[in-house]
Amino acid sequence: MSPTDAAAEAPEASQSAAVASEYGFRVQLPESWFAIASEYVRQVIESVGEEIASANGFDQSLLDQLATANMSLFYVPNMTGNFNVAREPAGDVTMNNFPMVESTLQQVLHSQGIADFVLSGPVDINGKSYYVGTFTAQAGFDQMQYYCVANGNLYTITLTNVSESDAQQIMESFEVP
């Protein structure tokens, strides 16, 4: 299954949609973006067959993995760009002491073959402070991660191969009520 095969079965393009996640955040999706959810996975399986869909990671285990990681995953219809939001308990981490976790982030990413991680910030986006991590993923895609601590949770927003305008819309609309 190629990205264009998956795109053929992506939900129809629509105006941007507001998402209120079960993980405690809200975001306005750029036009035609969609969430990877059980209905979409079902559509892919029906379109290409269970064997091909499963071989490409579109099966119940994907949904289980997202739930286990407290993660939401969103794609552009041609499947060339995505962003995800992961939520985990912040513990003692706050926005004031976040730079202290940089070495831990570098170790985790280095264990995954990523050696060019750089943390910067804080930056203000629409009245909310974020630290920003940049690196090149194993597949050669540039990634940006935005980190914020809110309501006792650490939110990590990872953008992969996302256009500047879509990234701006995502980040300006992201909020933890």
Looking at residue 133, its pLDDT comes to 94
CATH number of the domain where residue 94 is located: 3.40.1000.10
What is the domain count for the chain? Answer: 1
Looking at residue 7, its pLDDT comes to 39
Looking at residue 44, its pLDDT comes to 72
In which region does residue 8 sit, left (phi positive, over 0), alpha (psi from -120 to 50) or beta (all else)? alpha
Looking at residue 87, its pLDDT comes to 92
Looking at residue 173, its pLDDT comes to 95
Note down the domain range covering 25: 3-173
pLDDT, averaged per 10 consecutive residues of the chain (177 residues), comes to: 39 61 88 77 76 70 66 81 91 94 89 90 93 87 92 94 93 93
Looking at residue 96, its pLDDT comes to 93
Whether the predicted model's global pTM rises above the 0.85 cut: no
Looking at residue 95, its pLDDT comes to 94
**Helix and strand counts by DSSP (H, E) for the chain:** 6, 9
Question: How far is residue 11's CA from residue 31's CA, in Å, rounded to a whole number?
Answer: 12
Looking at residue 4, its pLDDT comes to 37
Looking at residue 11, its pLDDT comes to 42
Looking at residue 78, its pLDDT comes to 82
Angle at 75 between CA 74 and CA 77, to 5 degrees: 145
Looking at residue 21, its pLDDT comes to 81
